[in-house]
Structure 1
Amino acid sequence: MDRFLGSKKLHNTIIIEGEELNHIYAKRVKAGQRVEVFIEGKLYLCILEKITKSYAVCLIEKELDVYIPLPMVILYQCVPVELKNMDMIVEKVSEVGAFKIVPVISSRSFQNISVIKKKLERWERIALASFKQCRRPKPLEIGEPIHLKDIKAEAELNLFLDSFEKERSIKDLKLDGIKTIQLLVGPEGGLTAKESEFLKGLGFLSIRLYPYILRSETASILGVGLLMNLSTPLLSTYLD
Structure 2
Amino acid sequence: MDRFLGSKKLYNTIVIEEEELNHIYAKRVKSGQKVEVFIEGRLYLCILEKLTKSYASCLIEKELDLSFPLPMIDLYQCVPVELKNMDLIVEKVSEVGAFKLVPVISSRSFQDIKVIKKKIERWERIALASFKQCKRPKPLQIGEPINLKDIKAQADLNLFLDSFEKERGIKDIKLDGVKTIQLLVGPEGGLTVKESEFLKSLGFLPLRLYPYVLKSETASILGVGMLMNLSSYSSATYQV
> Structure 2 stretches of 5 or more lacking a match?
none
Give runs of ≥4 in structure 1 deviating > 6 Å: none
Task: State the match for 2:238 in structure 1.
Answer: 237
Give the secondary-structure state (helix, strand or coil) at the position aligned to 2:103.
strand
Give the secondary-structure state (helix, strand or coil) at the position aligned to 2:25.
helix
Map 1:141-180 onto structure 2 (within 5 A): 141-180=141-180
| CA distance in 2 between partners of 1:6 and 1:15 (Å) | 6
C-alpha RMSD of the superposition: 0.5
Q: How far off its partner does 1:234 sit?
A: 1.4
Q: How far off its partner does 1:213 sit?
A: 0.4
Map 1:81-160 onto structure 2 (within 5 A): 81-160=81-160
| CA distance in 2 between partners of 1:195 and 1:10 (Å) | 51
| CA distance in 2 between partners of 1:16 and 1:205 (Å) | 46
Task: State the match for 2:195 in structure 1.
Answer: 195
Please give the per-residue CA displacement for 1:100-149, whole angstroms capped at 9, x wherever unaligned.
00000000000000000000000000000000001111110000000000
> Structure 1 stretches of 5 or more lacking a match?
none
Task: State the match for 1:18 in structure 2.
Answer: 18
Task: State the match for 1:185 in structure 2.
Answer: 185
| CA distance in 2 between partners of 1:175 and 1:62 (Å) | 35
Please give the per-residue CA displacement for 1:185-217, whole angstroms capped at 9, x wherever unaligned.
000000000000000000000000000000000
Give the secondary-structure state (helix, strand or coil) at the position aligned to 2:110.
coil
Letter in 2 for 1:143: G
Task: State the match for 1:67 in structure 2.
Answer: 67
Q: How far off its partner does 1:67 sit?
A: 1.2
Please give the per-residue CA displacement for 1:143-164, whole angstroms capped at 9, x wherever unaligned.
0000000100000000000000
Q: How far off its partner does 1:237 sit?
A: 1.1
TM-score, length-scaled by structure 1: 0.99
TM-score, length-scaled by structure 2: 0.99
Q: How far off its partner does 1:48 sit?
A: 0.5
| CA distance in 2 between partners of 1:81 and 1:91 (Å) | 18
Letter in 2 for 1:183: L
